[in-house]
Structure 1
Amino acid sequence: MKHLKILFLFLLFLIVSCNGKENHPYTFYYWKTKLKLDNEEKKALDKATVPYLYTRFFDVDKVNGKFQPVAVITKDQSFQTGKQIVPIVFITNQTLLGISAEEIKFLAESIHHLIQKKSGEYQLKITDEIQIDCDWTAGTRDDYFKFLKELKKVSAKKISCTLRLHQVKDKKQTGVPPVEKVYLMCYSTSSPLEKSDKNSILDTEVLKSYLSKIEDYPIQKIEVALPIYSWGIVTNHLKKHKLINALSKKDLENPSFKKISDNEAEILKDGFYFGSYLNKGFKIKVEEISNEQLQDVIGFLEKKIPHFNIIYYQLDSKFVLNRKL
């Protein structure tokens, strides 16, 4: 009888192990210049199981040889949340080209002071973490890494950074950032402005190829950023492309469009569509991400990264409505 009980418990363990799905805590990125939340966004954020909202504060670029904050946040009264705010600063790669040691220190101090100023001005409850988003390259890696260390020093905060797919695959060239935690950006697998049959937001086979050795990446804590955004790629008569954000396949159901495929259509009549004037003959290709694609990526990463949180990009009622997260 005792043996049968042990066998039953063992079989039950096997069933749970095989069918059990890891429950990943999740939250969102917020990437709009004006901080505001509508009812759907508030609902989605309230349901999120991580107590943080990753919020872009401003970008940094080099304009006429000088560092400049770009698109600094403003705040609407509707932006009320119990989540703590993780400030994010996006730095263009060109900002780091030819930067001196004095400029690195100035940049770190200026970024820290502007974060403090904006969080105080808008009474934002920020965490002890600052996240830096930069598509650094082999040519800028050393100065970028010096900047990350300097920012940690001047802010006395925990510094984290984003990690793009090519920076994982080519880590010998791009190096490993001097941070304790990175956020793996599992999207932008190709350029949307190049003619391709692939989904440029997320092609799971391309992603798996880039991340085939992610388990060997020498940083202990890796969180995962997944896409829930969509867009339309418009192609004109000269084969040039432009993006229209937040389009879905439903937007192609239009009497002025001729469906080419499930996610493509040709415009039959000149006019304003989605805020842009588009001519007859222009083509629109919609790219969006299914829940099945997200689960495929999550299942792949579960075999390689232990116990990660998920940060969905991005919090917008157009992207969270009716989506199972």
Structure 2
Amino acid sequence: MGTRIFILVVFMACLGACQQTNPPTVSFYYWKTTFDLKKPEYDALETNQVDKLYVRYFDVALNADGLPYPVSEATLDHFPDTLEIVPVVYIKNEVMLSANLDVAELAKKISKYVHSISKSNRLSYGEIQIDCDWSLKSRDNFMAFIDSLDKISEKQLSATIRLHQVKYAQQTKVPNVAYGVLMYYNMGEINAGPGSSIYDKTIADLYTYTLKDYPLPLKVALPIFGWAIHLRNGQVLGLRPKVTANALKTEAAFSAQKPDIFEVKRDVLRHGTYYRKGDVLKIESVSQEQLLEMAHDLGTHMKVEEVIFYDLDALNLKNYEKDIFSQVRAAF
């Protein structure tokens, strides 16, 4: 008995040594096209003393002529003046791969449009965050775009960073920004196989040991979202956001084959999506235990000053205990 107690004390001492002296602050991404905070979202902000939101302003894709254009622009009426806003622009990698891309022109248009949206909603901002999963083929265009935006915008820049861009930084290069946000999710393949495409510790462990060597300050983004992978004859038809197992259990058209696998029993139209009899939905989400595991693992490899949860939505929040964010802070 005495040996067990000794081992436990040593383990807890080691765990405490790995934890940060000052837990990270909590922020959120806001990814809806219309800004409209619900009570659970307000409560999450207030309880966790959140003073900053990273808000998706618009996406950039290619039009039929192969030219960049904005889509899914956000409506930001009634944004609280107590919160700092960080505009986020999501750029599809296809834009950076385009042979017709003029990076200086794109930087100019994005800077101007972010300013226009902010001005029309009477919002001040000091930073622009660029979200783009650039590849080796698009690397040079992306880096040149960031340099152009840095000269044009006169704002601090940040960029989202994926695990593979950390581990292979020499090949993928490091953007010229003030800091990066490590997107600690979307790690696996979206398919019918076992495991989750959102979070897989086995995959994460292949990369996290390199975090200490990354030459850019990093904040961390953790997932509180979920989705269903829509399958037909084993082939992926698409992702169905915010579809949960608990919701499908209450609907007669869906039958649980496993806790995370549901079969469609009859043709049905659900929330604008058509499901054919025999289709399968594979539910993916992140548990409370997994969030704590992520925080602990990251905290052993890097110092985290801010953790940003993706994304602030009442449908996501109800899947967790109300104190989950303070628990995660303490686990770093």
Shorter-chain TM-score range: 0.7 to 0.9
Q: CA RMSD in A?
A: 2.4
Q: Say how many residue pairs are matched.
A: 309
Q: Secondary structure at the match of 1:187?
A: coil
Q: How does 1:76-87 map to 2 (within 5 A)?
A: 76-77=77-78, 79-80=79-80, 82-87=82-87
In the alignment, the residues of structure 1 paired with residue 209 and residue 219 of structure 2 have an alpha-carbon distance, to the nearest angstrom, of: 17
Q: How does 1:1-325 map to 2 (within 5 A)?
A: 17=16, 23-63=23-63, 64-77=65-78, 79-80=79-80, 82-97=82-97, 103-126=102-125, 128-192=126-190, 194-219=191-216, 221-237=217-233, 239-254=235-250, 255-321=252-318, 323=320, 324-325=324-325
Q: Rate the CA distance shift 1:183–1:19 in 2: closer, same or farther, 3 A.
A: closer
1:178: how far off? 1.5
In the alignment, the residues of structure 2 paired with residue 95 and residue 19 of structure 1 have an alpha-carbon distance, to the nearest angstrom, of: 41
1:132: how far off? 0.5
The residue type paired with residue 296 of structure 1 is E
Higher relative contact order, chain-length normalized (CA < 8 Å, sep 6+): 2
1:160: how far off? 0.7
In the alignment, the residues of structure 2 paired with residue 17 and residue 236 of structure 1 have an alpha-carbon distance, to the nearest angstrom, of: 48
Q: Identity of counterpart residues, as a percentage?
A: 33
Contact 2:96/2:138 (<8 A) preserved: yes
The residue type paired with residue 29 of structure 2 is Y
Q: Secondary structure at the match of 2:109?
A: helix
Match of 1:5 in 2: none
Contact 2:192/2:234 (<8 A) preserved: no
Contact 2:35/2:74 (<8 A) preserved: yes
In the alignment, the residues of structure 1 paired with residue 99 and residue 151 of structure 2 have an alpha-carbon distance, to the nearest angstrom, of: 18
The farther-off stretch of 181-190 and 103-112 is 103-112
The residue type paired with residue 71 of structure 1 is S
In the alignment, the residues of structure 1 paired with residue 132 and residue 14 of structure 2 have an alpha-carbon distance, to the nearest angstrom, of: 43
Contact 1:256/1:269 (<8 A) preserved: yes
**Gapped runs of 5+ residues in structure 1?**
1-10
Contact 2:222/2:309 (<8 A) preserved: yes
Match of 2:3 in 1: none
Q: Which one has the largest radius of gyration?
A: 1
1:268: how far off? 2.0
Q: Rate the CA distance shift 1:147–1:248 in 2: closer, same or farther, 3 A.
A: same
